[in-house]
Structure 1
């Protein structure tokens, strides 16, 4: 125990000495994460020659810092202009953007930064302490269990539909239908592609994301002078440090909420292929389910912003666990880290922490140090970033459309994706104007194809027996938890109304 503590202290001091790498990388990651279509993964790929030229420790610290900062940066445009930088931030605008329109953008950014930093820092420490246990999660999460996890995220559609049941369900099922476009999982038969080869791999996520949120939002805000409400304009007339401290205080007062939602992100991050988008939707859904004031979600509620931001940053440490312990990357960025580490001759598995502990522990320590430095360097910027919301929409809307169309082009480099983003922008604009929730559509587009893949995989293994869905002990526990999370809000609402009736 004493030797391990001494080793961790040594690795921590060594990592701190690389502040000259971490701090510039943090700012690079914020920029990368804030541009829709860009991500830590494709940025590291672009800079791969530079990364390979570095020594192993410097290269790993650079990649880990960029990964953490990009995850945090994706929430900035999501909060300020309703544009998630990545799919992992798709749940952030649900409450982050309403806060901005109310003139509380500065507080919202501070809350997001604190929740992201503390969530990432906490889960990094948990991952270090519980690595052997967490490494087994991937072995227990098979097709059946993943189906239920997906349904936790998709059930958020039902929460959104609570405001208008018919429109919410129409939006959700429309998203599921759009997500089914492409070749089917079993026979590779084209479905709904309308002859476009670019759709054979399914609807590309980034064009759908920026179209539904960013382009449609640009169409909406161009009809107004600024994106702020009248109340918001008054609140933004005299920005001060007090608003930033208020946001920090609001986030810290919900430290338990940050804790358990970030753990959701950690557990989901350990599962290879699950990702931050699932974690953020599941965390938001669970946060709303167990809230005493679920009706406030979607109106600028602090806990509705804390949950997805702490969860998607909890994923970052989770993706490193299967990479280091099993040699299985938990996501795209982890896969690139795997390539760099193999280039330098690193061997993976439990022996890594015995033979090269400075590498195994060093990656988690780099993540912890990055989040610590983010608290010091990024939170003060929330006051200045929030000023974006005061820019007249006559300038802001064209800039949003230009940047997002470039972002739609970057991942696959198809002109078709830019036209697709515009098409989704029109769909999103019509949905907003007619009272349909674009978040429900996006949930279907993201999670629908994943649910279908795991469902068909489970049926194939069981030779078509539907009872396979209830054949796993862990799966059955998750089924019960899903039913409880769907029924509990109705029960709590009924009890609340009954209590109010008795008191009146």
Structure 2
């Protein structure tokens, strides 16, 4: 069924009438996203009896609003205290926390909010227009193409290693080694699990994320407080002028919001590809095509815009395969599938003919949810920025308590709490010896996924490595990857020759 203007207007009117479900969803999504370890899928599972009892459209509006707000709010602790609320916000820490250290916490939050809302809004509108094409895209991008896409994210290790190549590569290799823990992808043989059954599925991402960023940052704060070496914090008095300044920064880089949002959309369409892949790829590509790549990592607004826009572009992308072919694009969309199937709705191509109000309505509800966020989220930056003025002796116990509980909440294993503390020590040692914890995290996050798609591709090609070059789309991606690696080297040499 084609989506005409009258039908579209009716869907928007119906979605706005569900404000009573959208607003609580946004509020709960914000609360869940700020706390590391509390994921939207776990929240929706807890609330499953409530959503199953609701009208299907109201349930969808609530779940979608929670999902979108969760992706947005993960950047708040990432920017303020260098603790990503989710894996998708890990890349935001690189420049977002630096902006806070530079006394621009409120501006960084506003830039993040604008990029998140605009990226999500643009991509959800694009899905309404391009849904048939995007549904096919999810089938076209297979294991071979995913190998190259993940390599784009892994090349960010080299970018982070630019200041100290040896330490950067060691950190990345260490992360890849840690990512290999668990059962192997072919024979399911345990690797480096040391007899712990909790590691058979691989390193759980939430405790690793919490340990490397949250607990290590808390330990650094404690050390600086004890030794008296803490840098004076820039005064943070909430002013609307700083909110306007953040809006101006975001508007200056509007084109970056658009194209990095579409990176998130395309990666989100691929079933199983996470927001963290999109955010790392977007950050790497943003730096590659920037005229000032040396500013990334120093508190550069585009370094916040790129991962946040892509992170929220993923939200609409993950629902495309869910609605179009009945394959969940992620764990949150899988929970949504349960609610829809309980209501007797059969997902797939026929849904667009039999119940277009549901098939297209999902993306209209997402658009409306982002519109509501425009009014609800921006004022939050003015007050959230005051977190950086909280005394160390108050904020450190809160960080450790909330994050350790978050490590437990994901899988409900006491083992994960201990694992978070172990990675906290690893992260602290890395920070104090000038190893980039983000490069370690990239290896842990992307290493297992890369191995899975690489081995799957090689099995399809019966062991022939040339299968990685058997697809026209993959070959185009390979060329772009080579450009991504060669262009920064060429640019640095050109600048060096110019300087001499």
Per-residue Cα deviation, 1:134-186 (whole angstroms, up to 9, x for no partner): 11112121111111111000000000011100000000000000000111111
Task: Extract unaligned runs of 5+ from structure 1.
Answer: none
- Which residue is 2:25 aligned to? 25
Taking the TM superposition and a 5 Å limit, the aligned residue runs for 1:55-74 are 55-74=55-74
1:133 shift after superposition: 0.8
1:9 aligns with 2:45: no
1:478 aligns with 2:477: yes
TM-score (norm 1): 0.97
Q: Which runs of 4+ in 1 moved over 4 A?
A: 225-229
1:348 shift after superposition: 2.0
Taking the TM superposition and a 5 Å limit, the aligned residue runs for 1:97-246 are 97-225=97-225, 229-230=231-232, 232-234=233-235, 236=236, 238-246=237-245
Q: Determine the C-alpha separation between the residues in 2 that align with 1:350 and 1:362.
A: 15
Q: Is the 8 A contact 1:105 1:386 kept in 2?
A: yes
Task: Extract unaligned runs of 5+ from structure 2.
Answer: none
Q: Determine the C-alpha separation between the residues in 1 that align with 2:229 and 2:234.
A: 9
- Which residue is 2:34 aligned to? 34
Q: Determine the C-alpha separation between the residues in 2 that align with 1:352 and 1:468.
A: 36
Q: Determine the C-alpha separation between the residues in 2 that align with 1:95 and 1:76.
A: 13
Q: Is the 8 A contact 1:103 1:229 kept in 2?
A: no
Cα separation, partners in 2 of 1:3 and 1:60, compared to 1, 3 Å? closer
Q: Determine the C-alpha separation between the residues in 2 that align with 1:457 and 1:375.
A: 42
Q: Determine the C-alpha separation between the residues in 2 that align with 1:223 and 1:365.
A: 49
Cα separation, partners in 2 of 1:380 and 1:229, compared to 1, 3 Å? farther
Q: Is the 8 A contact 2:283 2:306 kept in 1?
A: yes
Equivalent pairs, count: 498
Q: Is the 8 A contact 2:39 2:410 kept in 1?
A: no
- Which residue is 2:294 aligned to? 295
Q: Is the 8 A contact 1:227 1:393 kept in 2?
A: no
Q: Is the 8 A contact 1:102 1:229 kept in 2?
A: no
1:349 shift after superposition: 2.3
Q: Is the 8 A contact 1:228 1:389 kept in 2?
A: no
Match of 2:360, SS state, is: helix
- Which residue is 1:50 aligned to? 50
- CA RMSD after TM alignment: 1.5
1:14 shift after superposition: 1.2
1:77 aligns with 2:109: no
Per-residue Cα deviation, 1:344-389 (whole angstroms, up to 9, x for no partner): 1112223322221211121111111111111111111101011011
Q: Is the 8 A contact 2:181 2:193 kept in 1?
A: yes
Taking the TM superposition and a 5 Å limit, the aligned residue runs for 1:380-399 are 380-399=379-398
TM-score (norm 2): 0.97
